[in-house]
Chain A
Amino acid sequence: DAGITQSPRHKVTETGTPVTLRCHQTENHRYMYWYRQDPGHGLRLIHYSYGVKDTDKGEVSDGYSVSRSKTEDFLLTLESATSSQTSVYFCAISLTGLGGEKLFFGSGTQLSVL
């Protein structure tokens, strides 16, 4: 258990609705990531953070925004959810974000956009 909690675990929402997913960690790790998992694509990086208020885009960042106002929380927001954003979302953390350091993953959030 790497001390990562994702909430909610499941969410069903309608197209056009704003949605916020939360990732909370108790390990004081500097790096936090949001990935989405889709069949045939594996895990793709949406956004990541390398410190409080320091974030950067991943490969599939369009339609998503993030915020990190404190070390332990990393929020992912879908400003206006679309059906293409139906996916499983994983949060991950690492201490340095570099080299051979492994990532610790949360349990995932299943999001369905109808």
Chain B
Amino acid sequence: AQKVTQAQTEISVVEKEDVTLDCVYETRDTTYYLFWYKQPPSGELVFLIRRNSFDEQNEISGRYSWNFQKSTSSFNFTITASQVVDSAVYFCALRGEYGNKLVFGAGTILRVKS
């Protein structure tokens, strides 16, 4: 069975602080894919990143960066110099190579205060 755990239910930071959202996953597949989605207050789900299990390079996109570590089954997401517009619910998700279902974590609510 596949499982995604986001242990942080809610995080509050002040603008310009860095913040890391944790994601730990479980799977028996050797090939799998990890995702992060953002859900702003408007409610829609926005795709942020996809990473496959064979690519452990960290990725940076502007203020966003992702740290994938197979040894600890983690795929953490860091926002540098947070902004109020980063306030949202962030979901980590997992899918196996042949599975056609995307399994989500419970989500982390990020509140960035000005």
Contacts and interface: CB of A to CB of B under 8 A. Distances in A.
Contacts, number: 54
Interface residues of A, number: 25
B41 to A, nearest CB: 12
Interface in A35-70: 35, 40-45, 48, 50, 58
B44 A102 contact: no
Contacts of A42: 4, 6, 91, 104-107
B84 interface: no
Interface stretch (A21-29, A78-86, A92-100): A92-100
B91 A43 contact: yes
Nearest to B50: A100
A31 interface: yes
Contacts of B52: 99-100
A43 B104 contact: yes
A45 B9 CA distance: 20
Question: Which of A33, A58, A103: most chain B CB closer than 10 A?
Answer: A103
A102 B35 CA distance: 8
A15 interface: no
Nearest to B100: A97
Question: 6 tightest CB-CB pairs across the interface, nearest first?
Answer: A97-B100, A105-B45, A42-B104, A42-B106, A43-B104, A100-B33
Interface of B: 4, 6, 9, 31, 33, 35, 43-45, 47, 50, 52, 91, 95, 97-107
